[in-house]
Amino acid sequence: MNTGSPARTAALLISLLAAVMAGLALLIAAPAVLAEPEASVPGLEWLVLVPLFALAEVVVIHLPTQRNAHGHTMREIPAVLGLTFLAPQQYVTAYVVGAVLALVLAARMRGVKLAFNAAMFALEAALGALVYHAILQGGDPLSMTGWLAVLLAVLVTDLMSAGAVTAAISLTEGVFDGEVLHEALRSGSVAAFINTCVALLFATLVLVQPSALPLLGVVIVLLVMGYRVYISLARGHARTHLLYRFVDRTASAGTPEEIIGIVVREAADLMHAERAYLVELVGDQQVRCTAYADGSLRTESLELPEPRTWWWSAFEKGVVRYEAPRGHGQREDPAPAVEPAVLSAPRDGLAAPLRTAEPTRYVLVVCDRSFEKETFGTEDVQVFEALAAHAGVAVERARSVNDLEELAEELKGARDTALAASEAKSMFLANMSHEIRTPLTTVLAAGELLEETPLDEMQAKLLNRMRRSGGLLLSLVENLLDFSRIEAGHAQLQQVEFDLHAMVKDIVDAGLPRARQRGNTLDWVIDPLVPRTVIGDRTRVVQVLSNLVDNALKFTANGRVHVEVGAAVVAGSRAVQFEVSDTGIGIDEKDQASIFEAFRQVDGSATRHYAGTGLGLAICKQLTDLMGGNMTVAGQLGVGSTFTFQLPLAVPAKPSAVVATTPPSVGRASMEA
């Protein structure tokens, strides 16, 4: 990318603008020169006013006015005196010569800038003289007409200055900047009016009472001091506004690259610098530099030279201020350096580190003051340090957000991989369960047929073992199928009316033989407040309650298993609570949090002593959650355990007749071995 092209284009456009202004000034002044050539010869008044014009421009240069310097000048004082005491031809030359001398000697201005300002001064003076003499028409300069002529001439001059400076800034930056024009119309016009009144007083004293002129010097000094105070306050307000804008823009930016671009652009704008850099240290001899100059932004990697550049000490010392030695013969713009500009010595510059959570890696650099005196002051150092602090926070935030986004992408990829693996596992379990269940059913059916044939004692024993093992295997296959369906989200719920009391009694009756076999007492009770007819998935409720009862019987010997059904509230709605408690081996508190995990059993000894796969409780918990309920466990090791689950089973508006195999009792029934 050719970064010099925008600068050359802007310089060419400004040169053309200067030529146009010089041509217009010549056209306006030429008739008077041709009409009275002898009036163009400088006289004593001319020699006195040239230093006054130079002094007024020096005041402009050294007022901290930044880009709106023309808005608060003392140029109106020599202008009024020149219009009053000089011929138009002499006035134009005195105006231009005095102001240009100040720019050359006090500001060391050269090149395109000097040509532009000289042309602007010539056009200002020519227009002012034209307006003044067109209104005065040879009348008394101290009359009301003379005062009106002076005020209008000064107003035209200030508007011309504001328009020219606005055009130059807009051409340089590639965008219209109305700040200069607005300042001239607002406070600059007021300052021009005050200066004009002082100048009229000065001219009156010269003509009427010259001995009183020293007293007027006190007024001028006070006026200059007032301008300095006002402009300092205005500059502080403007910088505060720019800092707020910088914070707002960095807060709305996203990526670190976008933040860095905003930082260097806003730093150049806030500090009124021609160039700005954000230098990132990536190695002992390597830096990555993002540069903003001539309205363009670029990033490049650079090798650090030896010895280090002027801004290198900012990594350790904090804010560093640099000012190149200047002599009377030094050019304003140094010759282009061979190395990148950030590694060259500027006219003046500031550098400050960006404080981040890690050791300092960034340094913010601004170089070459523009549109005002060329050095950075103490107040500039303080503002720049605050800017660097805000920039450090912004860059650190952007890096943290970027790291979080990258982590989120990694986690998203890991989640997708885990979901794919889980889906593949569920599909594998479902397929394998189907494949195993078909031949297993055939084997069990063959065993039932074989049982009807004559068998000796050994054959009957082997057949009984085969049927028992086959039943366990079939239960495992059914559990695997249920587990895979639930995990894949394929489990379907039915909403039908059923007799809750009859269901509980059927489950208890089915467990009585096993309870007697292990020497247990199995009893149950239903709260009278529990409705008989409810709406829900009867099959899934039976599956959950039966599994809990079977588990309680399996882990209890010569003890008691108790089933209790009562009313409850879940999420503000009526629900039914099922509780299965036993006096078996119990569950340690440290294992209760993981008891509902798939393929999880209490401990190694339980796994060896009690048969099972660890899927039953996991399926019960998943089915309970699927039906909108919840399940918990409590108990102590060696004392027993209690499983509780609650289900929001609705009650029909008009319960239909439900046929139960045995009329259930709402009282207590005890079934003993």
- Alpha carbons 177 and 499: distance in angstroms, whole number: 83
Question: What band does 502 get if pLDDT is binned at 50, 70 and 90?
Answer: very high
**Amino acid identity of 260?**
I
Q: What is the pLDDT of residues 28-59, one digit of tens each?
A: 888 887 778 877 788 888 888 888 888 888 87
Q: Is the pTM of this model over 0.75?
A: no
Is residue 647 over pLDDT 90? yes
> What does the pLDDT average to over 345-373?
77
Query: What is the average pLDDT score of the chain?
Result: 78
Q: What is the pLDDT of residues 286-309, one digit of tens each?
A: 888 888 876 678 888 888 777 788
Mapping DSSP to helix (H, G, I), strand (E, B) and coil, where does residue 260 land? helix
Amino acid 242: pLDDT: 63
Both tokens of residue 284? 């002992």
> What does the pLDDT average to over 366-371?
75
Instruction: Please tell me which residue, 447 or 540, carries the higher pLDDT value.
Output: 540
Is residue 589 over pLDDT 60? yes
CA dihedral sign of residues 79, 83, 84, 89: positive
- Cβ(554)–Cβ(610) under 8 Å? yes
Amino acid 663: pLDDT: 42
Instruction: Please tell me which residue, 655 or 350, carries the higher pLDDT value.
Output: 350
Q: Which residues pair with 496 in a beta bridge?
A: 536
Q: What is the pLDDT of residues 193-249, one digit of tens each?
A: 777 777 777 777 776 666 666 766 676 677 667 766 765 666 666 666 666 677 776
Q: Where on the phi/psi map is residue 558: left (φ > 0), alpha (ψ -120 to 50), or beta? A: left
Both tokens of residue 79? 């202008």
* Long-range contacts of residues 651-659, Cβ cutoff 8 Å, at least 24 apart: 651/531, 651/533, 651/534, 651/535, 651/574, 652/497, 652/533, 652/534, 652/535, 655/497, 655/531, 655/532, 655/533, 656/497, 656/533, 658/497, 658/498, 658/499, 658/502, 658/532, 658/533, 659/499
> What does the pLDDT average to over 473-487?
70
Of residues 168, 68, 59, 71, the one with CA closest to residue 107: 59
Q: Which of 383-397, 452-466, 630-644 is the most confident on average?
A: 630-644
Q: What is the pLDDT of residues 547-563, one digit of tens each?
A: 899 989 989 999 999 99
- Cβ(580)–Cβ(555) under 8 Å? no
Q: Which domains does the chain carry?
A: 4-218 (1.10.1760), 242-325+343-402 (3.30.450.40), 496-671 (3.30.565.10)
Amino acid 661: pLDDT: 39
Of residues 327, 358, 619, the one with CA closest to residue 480: 619
- Burial pattern 409-444, b for ≥16 Cβ within 10 A else e, equals eeeeeeeeeeeeeeeeebeebbeebeebbeebeeeb
Q: Which of 3-7, 310-314, 377-381 is the most confident on average?
A: 310-314
Separation of CA 330 from chain center: 46
Both tokens of residue 410? 């990694």
Both tokens of residue 502? 């009859």
**The tokens 């050095």 sit on which residue?**
375
Amino acid 673: pLDDT: 34
Amino acid 519: pLDDT: 92
Question: What band does 645 get if pLDDT is binned at 50, 70 and 90?
Answer: very high
Is residue 170 over pLDDT 80? no
Amino acid 566: pLDDT: 94
- Cβ(620)–Cβ(548) under 8 Å? yes
Percent of the chain with pLDDT over 70: 75
Amino acid 459: pLDDT: 83
CA distances from 68 to 65, 500, 548 (A): 6, 89, 86
Furthest C-alpha separation in the chain: 152
Instruction: Please tell me which residue, 542 or 178, carries the higher pLDDT value.
Output: 542
Amino acid 486: pLDDT: 72
**The tokens 């801004």 sit on which residue?**
311
Q: What is the pLDDT of residues 60-108, one digit of tens each?
A: 766 544 444 444 566 777 888 888 888 888 888 988 998 889 888 877 7
- Cβ(647)–Cβ(574) under 8 Å? no
Q: Which of 128-137, 160-169, 354-363 is the most confident on average?
A: 128-137
Is residue 465 over pLDDT 70? yes
Instruction: Give me the count of residues in the chain.
Output: 673
- Burial pattern 606-624, b for ≥16 Cβ within 10 A else e, equals eeeeeebbbbbbbbbbbbb
- Cβ(120)–Cβ(71) under 8 Å? no
Which residues, 6 or more positions from 332, have their beta carbon under 8 angstroms from its beta carbon? 108, 109, 110, 111, 113, 347
> What does the pLDDT average to over 167-183?
67
Amino acid 275: pLDDT: 86
Percent of the chain with pLDDT over 90: 12
